[in-house]
Structure 1
Amino acid sequence: MDSQSITKKKRDANIELLRIVAMLMIITLHFNYRSNALLVLGEPASNVQLFATILEAIAITGVNVYVLISGYYLSSSKVRLSKVLLLILQVYFYTLLISGAMMIVGAYSVKPEDKLDRALRYLFPISSEHYWFVTAYVIMYVLAPVMNAAVNTLKRKQLKTVIIGLLTWFCFIKSIVPVKFGTDRMGYDFGWFICLYLIAAYIRKYNIVLFRDAKKSALVYLISVVVIAAFSLVFYKINFDTGNFNYYAEVPCHYNFFFALTGALGLFSVFRFMRLKENLLAEVIRIIAPYTLGVYLLHMHFEIADRWVEWIEHIIGETPLDNVLMFFIHLVVSVLIVFFAGIFVDWIRKYIFNFFGRVLGDTRLFRFIKRVDDDLC
């Protein structure tokens, strides 16, 4: 597999660079949240909190972009059983190995009444949403053959109608109605991922030029960022003064908010227009990009997600929440530490998987999986 080895063709370095940028955005979102740097409704705002809100608007498109990239590639490829199994095994590698390591070093602690819930999170990480992103991603991945069949069968107008219908349900209505609907998961679910997948598949199948050129695409992204930041700050202020809009004040930073979608499409379009030279940099990008999912699986493990900011603080000092420049420097260093640590760990994971693949490659189980893959091609 790995989950990232979707096709045998050489990946476009520009899109692979975007995959890296998207993961850096995602880590930034997590750092802002875990370091308590974001605005708190009803409480006075500091300069760092205002700055972090702007960073949030810049980075909130990361998840949507990452899923768009997956849909863009998967929609034109065969989803083999081996790829699905290796994706699931990759998740188990992190959930079980990290939990075991935490137990060995004595950092694992759980209340007796929580033992069963914790065990379920580790033994059934996808069903229990150990990682909400992975649960949604795996379901999308498994449904990819069905969606690909639909994309290849439906007429262009029919596919466009389906996408518009899904966007109306998941995005348009929730973006303007200031109340929370029972079916709205704020983009934290496979329904929204399926919507993004179909958008990416439509773009690829019909080679859609979204915003004419790179400059206009960048403008769409920047306008989306400005609108998200402005909405966040305006409704924070309204809530602070009146106590109203407790829910809608957070909507601009939901993944299925309209401008989070337009921002993602704008950024995706910028990198589609980009052309990187075929040199050492392009090869390094292609080498690093496949390990980005491992970065997520490492730092968002249940035992690590609430601790990694604190661990980094032991190395580079406490997060400065009273100085914007120092906060930004601390954020950049922290994000890079997490990113490259995750790349390194997933690189090791790949070599372990490759070793077992060579050792077990001629077993009955592996031959069966290969036959199934051949039948699916």
Structure 2
Amino acid sequence: MSVRKPNFELLRIIAMLMIVTLHYNIHADALLQLGVPASKVQIFATVIETFCITGVNVYVLLSGYFLSQTNIKLSRILKLICQVYFYTILISVAMMMVGTYTVGSDDTIYKTAQYLFPISSEHYWFVTAYVIMYVLSPVLNAAVNALSRIQLKTVIIGLLIWFCGIKSIVPVMFVTDHAGYDYGWFICLYLIAAYIRKYDVVLFFNAKRSALVFLISSLISLAMSLALHYINLVRGGFIYYSQVPTHYNFIFTLTGALGLFSVFRFLKMKENWFANVVRFVAPFTFGVYLVHMHLEIRNRWVEWLESLIGPVPMDNVLFFAWHMIRCVIIVFAAGIFVDWIRKMIFDFIGRVMKDTKLFKFIRKWDEKIC
């Protein structure tokens, strides 16, 4: 059994922290608003936004990098789907028990469908895209192994032009562009990561240049966000394009993600207690997402934390930053703890049901697939 590399696992943790930070900014209503003069806190939040927006792409790149040389077993796919159901159903039941469930009489059927079919209904858009990518990974891996280097590169370039290139320069919203919130973009990222791993592609020569790519990409996205907001404020227009610099499939969001990914690829971590802690925590990061982005929680967790540590300070940058850091750490730590409990429950069920017909059938299919 291969040992998880701590440098990549640390990046997985950082990527999820970046994602939680993005959600904090959104639900704290701290980002720029078109047609409204920017406050210092909104400018600061936008700075954080443009540096953290790469988190989703990095998380998918990591998945593609490792899954592209892994035999995807039926048991792993089922475990992933069961993990999603564990949270969609259990959290809903818990919210009902404490009397904070938000479903109303007019949307009961639709919300019930979102809990019973969380992947099909995009209960979590990220999970829907990620699970589809995960299920398709054997097909993608077969394509990566069968195609020549030039063929695979051509496919990736074509996908990048379609998903990323055109939308990044044309200030018009296309019907087929979902801003990177879909499995099409995830598949593109998966193939990029698979290409990097298969041919051991060295991105940006070294860690320093990789960090510079990440920094410059983020600063360009920041400059564009601020400039487009100002132009809209003064002259109007750019209502759609002002949001493009923080889309997941924007060109500089991609280059920033590749730069950050490359930094940690060059990073050499010592084998010590910190590396072991990183290895322990990283596998639970997906659970952090599932907890804080549940339909019953996503729009309320900032409000709940306000009752614990005070309201979001919108008139002081330092106080806002301190509030944000505490909220992100609390949400991340709580998600890690809850998913650790979930894993113990799953492990217990696995031991109890190990010799049942169902589990024997799944193991048999794993052997056939592999």
SS in 1 for 2:348: helix
Give, as a single letter, the amino acid of the residue that structure 2 aligns with 1:130: H
SS in 2 for 1:112: coil
SS in 2 for 1:172: helix
What is the aligned counterpart of 1:253 among 233, 238, 246? 246
Equivalent residue number for residue 42 of structure 1 = 35
Equivalent residue number for residue 327 of structure 2 = 334
Equivalent residue number for residue 150 of structure 2 = 157
Question: Structure 1 segments of 4 or more deviating over 2 A?
Answer: none
Equivalent residue number for residue 172 of structure 2 = 179
What is the aligned counterpart of 1:220 among 202, 213, 226? 213
TM-score by length of 2: 1.00
SS in 2 for 1:219: helix
Give, as a single letter, the amino acid of the residue that structure 2 aligns with 1:303: E
Report the Cα offset of residue 113 of structure 1: 1.2
Give, as a single letter, the amino acid of the residue that structure 2 aligns with 1:212: F
Equivalent residue number for residue 190 of structure 1 = 183
What is the aligned counterpart of 2:11 among 18, 28, 33? 18
2: CA distance, partners of 1:212 / 1:285 = 26
Report the Cα offset of residue 323 of structure 1: 0.2
* Pair 1:243 & 2:236 matched: yes
SS in 2 for 1:362: coil
Report the Cα offset of residue 44 of structure 1: 1.2
Equivalent residue number for residue 346 of structure 1 = 339
What is the aligned counterpart of 1:317 among 310, 320, 333? 310
Give, as a single letter, the amino acid of the residue that structure 2 aligns with 1:15: F
1: CA distance, partners of 2:82 / 2:244 = 34
* Pair 1:123 & 2:116 matched: yes
Structure 2, gaps ≥5 residues long = none
Matches within 5 A, 1:21-100: 21-100=14-93
SS in 2 for 1:178: coil
1: CA distance, partners of 2:106 / 2:100 = 18
2: CA distance, partners of 1:311 / 1:96 = 21
Equivalent residue number for residue 127 of structure 2 = 134
Equivalent residue number for residue 272 of structure 1 = 265
Report the Cα offset of residue 86 of structure 1: 0.3
2: CA distance, partners of 1:45 / 1:120 = 40
Report the Cα offset of residue 109 of structure 1: 2.5
CA distances 1:207-258 after superposition (whole Å, capped 9, x unpaired): 0001000000000000001000000000000111111100000000000000
2: CA distance, partners of 1:109 / 1:55 = 31
Equivalent residue number for residue 287 of structure 1 = 280
Structure 1, gaps ≥5 residues long = 1-7
CA distances 1:115-155 after superposition (whole Å, capped 9, x unpaired): 01100000000000000000000000000000000000000
SS in 2 for 1:146: helix
2: CA distance, partners of 1:87 / 1:367 = 18
